[in-house]
A and B are shown apart, each in its own frame.
Chain A
Amino acid sequence: MRKPIGWSTIIIAALVAVSAGLVWRRDGTDGVLDILIHDLSLFGGILPRVLAGCLLGAFISEILPHEKVSRALGPKSGLKGLLIGTAFGAILPGGPFTAYPVASALLAVGADFGATIAMVVSWTLIGYGRAVAWEIPIMGTDFTLWRIVISLPLPVLAGALGRFVYVRLYPKPATKDDEN
């Protein structure tokens, strides 16, 4: 995966520092500590799932044959690749701690940005996990089903747009610099 420190990390760290400063000015040291303690316990609860996600990603990238993945989900996989990505995102179990490590593993073994975008967008928009656990109880079955029907075409469209833009932004054949 990526290097520990990149520009994104630096920007987020700066945002966090500013936000924590604002919280401190508004609520004092106690306010800062309250959030810290709450989030540390959240962090502790998340850690085992993160480990599971990392292991899942590592095993998947080891057992999936690169050739087949790049044929099924690579730049030349066409509509079929986008549909496979969409289906995969829709049935993937778990939460963000599985979706992103698995998506990252797919990228590493030969899926292109288009199919991976279809997968991530499908997971977030038509995946059953969040819909069953949160959206149906809070927003109701009618709204949720109707919202999912509206969202059905979006992952394939997003993947197709991604592919279309990617080829024009990076005209050279895919290099290995995605893997850092």
Chain B
Amino acid sequence: MSAALLIDILLWGSVFGVGLIAFRRGPPVFKASLREGSMDFINIVPRIALGVIGSGYIAAIIPQEVISGWLGPDSGWLGVATAVVAGAATPGGPVIGFSIGTVALKSGGGVPQVVAYVVAWALFAFQRVILWEIPFMPARFVWFRCAVSLPFPFIAAAIAMVIGKP
């Protein structure tokens, strides 16, 4: 997988770059941040483990057909609202989310609803929140961020309604 390799190169390259800057500030600075990063890693591993293994089980009990069903029939704002719920409840990674969006578009789903779905998925997909955001960020930030983001799939759908199709 070349995309994964590219990500890893960029990622470790960035680590190396900032590590070098820290090292030039002096070895104590470098050692302290190395120790802190490693401690963060050790503290976070159990939570990531819970997230990875846990979201597998949660995903297994949410059938994909249910999610795509929510993206079908309703148009208008009710359709936008169900699309937002569907986006948040979509299990799995980006392949599943975007595939469901594509199927909905091809099978006659409204464009504003699909936009709301994709934006809601990007903002609230439970798997990403559980697996990544909660382990790494202060819990208070995560809940606050989700609450504040709530209007935005609707705003995106409204903009899509105003400016029309791609």
CB distance from B35 to the nearest CB of A (A): 8
Asked if B152 is at the interface of the complex by the 8 Å CB criterion, the answer is: yes
B54–A8 touching, CB < 8 Å:
no
Contact A13 B37 (CB under 8 A): no
Flag if B37 contacts A55 (CB, 8 Å).
yes
Given A19-B60, A133-B94, A117 and B148 contact (CB-CB distance below 8 Å): yes
Give the contacting residue for A154; candidates B99, B101, B152; CB below 8 A.
Answer: B152
Is there an interface contact between B144 and A134, defined as CB atoms closer than 8 Å?
Answer: no
What residues make up the interface of B, taking CB atoms closer than 8 Å to A? 3, 7-8, 10-12, 14-15, 18-19, 21-22, 25, 29, 32-34, 36-38, 40-41, 43-54, 56-58, 60-61, 94-95, 98-99, 101-102, 105, 115, 118-119, 122-123, 128, 130-142, 144-145, 147-149, 151-152, 155-156, 159-160, 163, 165-166
A79 at the B interface (CB under 8 A): no
Given contacts A94-B7, A101-B136, contact A55 B34 (CB under 8 A): yes
A113 touching B34, Cβ below 8 Å: no
Contact B45 A157 (CB under 8 A): no
Interface residues of A (CB under 8 A from B): 1-2, 4, 6-9, 12-13, 15-16, 19-20, 22-23, 26-27, 31-32, 35-36, 38-40, 42-43, 46-63, 93-101, 103-104, 107, 113, 116-117, 120-121, 124-125, 129-130, 133-135, 138-140, 142-143, 145-147, 150-151, 154, 157-158, 161-162, 165-166, 178-180
B158 → A minimal CB distance (Å): 10
Q: Name the residue in A38, A51, A61, A180 with the highest tally of chain B Cβ atoms < 10 Å from its Cβ.
A: A51
Q: CB-CB < 8 A to A100: which residues of B?
A: 132-133, 135-137
| Shortest Cβ gap from A150 to chain B (Å) | 5
Task: State the majority secondary structure of interface residues on B.
Answer: helix
Given A1-B43, A58-B36, A130-B122, 13 extra CB contacts under 8 A: A16-B57, A31-B60, A50-B45, A51-B37, A59-B37, A60-B18, A63-B21, A107-B137, A107-B138, A113-B141, A121-B152, A158-B149, A178-B140
Partner of A104, one of B10, B57, B122, B137: B137
Choice from B34, B134, B140, B149 contacting A12 with Cβ under 8 Å: B134
- A109 and B154 alpha carbons, distance in the complex (Å): 33
Task: Select which of A43, A60, A166 is within 8 A of B52 by beta carbon.
Answer: A43
User: Distance (Å) between the CB of B104 and the closest chain A CB?
Assistant: 10
Write the nearest CB–CB distance from B80 to chain A, whole angstroms: 13
B57 touches A103 (CB 8 A): no
Q: Which residues of B contact A103 (CB under 8 A)?
A: 136-137
Which of A55, A157, A166 interacts with B155 by CB under 8 Å?
A157
Task: Say whether B56 contacts A38, CB under 8 Å.
Answer: yes
7 closest A-B pairs by beta carbon, nearest first, are A58-B37, A16-B54, A146-B166, A100-B136, A96-B132, A134-B94, A19-B57
Cβ-neighbour of B14 out of A16, A93, A130 (below 8 A): A93
Given contacts A146-B166, A150-B159, A151-B156, contact A180 B52 (CB under 8 A): no
**Hey, which chain A residues are within 8 Å of B29, CB to CB?**
62-63
